[in-house]
Amino acid sequence: MVIYAPAPPPFACAICGHEWVPDRWHTRCDGNLPIQPICRRCESDYGGGRNDRNRDRRIIWQLKALASAIDCEAYRRHHGGAYA
């Protein structure tokens, strides 16, 4: 019998605000589960770490994603874009 790690707790993404709640279709041994505080989509869109299952590299991609999101928001506020 395989013993899986406990499901990660629900969280809201720090970039997009999307609430991620694990359901029964997410496998707990899957390396593609999101790591708090960023959802998998923002991690790949802002960070660039697509299809990487190594947890250490994914945390680096998350740091890059947070820096990129802050940079995008600063640019929007500085230039008075539609999202300012």
Q: Give yes or no for residue 83 having a pLDDT over 80.
A: no
Please name every residue paired with 19 in a beta bridge, in sequence order, or none if there are none: 12
How many domains does the chain contain in total?
1
At 55, list the tokens: 């947890």
Within a domain: 5 = no
Using DSSP, state whether 54 is helix, strand or coil: coil
For 10-45, give the DSSP string. Answer: PEE-TTT--EE---TTS-TT-TTS-BTTB-HHHIII
pTM for this entry: 0.76
Tens digits of residue pLDDT in 59-82: 999 999 999 999 999 998 888 865
In 10 A of CB 43, how many CB atoms?
24
Within a domain: 30 = yes
Domain that holds residue 48: 11-79
